[in-house]
Amino acid sequence: MTALIVVTLLVILTMRLSSKEVFLSKKRKLPIYSVDTKEKKIAITFDASWPQDNTDEIIEILDKYDVKATFFLVGTWIDHNPEKLKTLHEKGHEIGNHTNSHPDMNSISRAELIKEIEEVDSKIKKITGKGTTLFRCPSGVYNDLVIETVERSNRYCIQWDVDSIDWKAEGEEIEYNRVVKKTKPGSIILFHNDGRYTTKTLPRIIEYFKKEGYSMVTVSDLIYKSDFMIDYTGKQIYNK
């Protein structure tokens, strides 16, 4: 009986170890959601996908508070707003790649994704003279193929850990409280340039974090460029 119990325990232990090995070997690739830092630094980002938006007003607000943000642009938005892209660049804001047509990342091939990235990059470069080093997946949808393709293109794949959910237009107070409550050092905050209440909440959010001693920087000024790992939550950690 004792021998049977020992054998049973060994079998269970072996199964658990095997399951753990399978789990580790199939670790999912992740984009950068946030950055591990003790410094009070955060990045404000905007996704620009649709022709109608509040970009001009957003630029005025950022100018007023001397804040630089990162804008992830879709190619079709650039087609309708070339002058706004030019202004963003001239004002010193960072431009990121958000694909050319905002496709479904779960149904796109590697070749199609490369084409999407290169097409919008060409449009950005034509107006600003510079290509992009940052990429954000449409709707935040990604898989291993997408992350690998982006990394091979020598770009950092950027997600977010604080979502204003401004596209739902739930109200100024709800959006403000959501962002203030969830933001911490190293956070990447997501807004949309066409959110109904974004231009109302943005000044309040900037004022709050300035009062709390935070610096608002571009994504490139927040993330580590080398010698880093990404943990299971998507937090980028510097390899000391």
**Residues annotated as part of the active site:** 47, 192
Q: How far apart are alpha carbons 128 and 68 in whole angstroms?
A: 16
Q: Residues 6 or more apart from 72 whose CB is under 8 A from it?
A: 45, 46, 47, 48, 96, 97, 98, 134, 135, 136, 158
Backbone phi, then psi, for 131, in 5-degree steps? -85, -170
Which ranges of the chain would DSSP assign to H, the alpha helix?
2-25, 55-64, 75-80, 82-90, 110-128, 144-152, 172-182, 198-211, 219-222
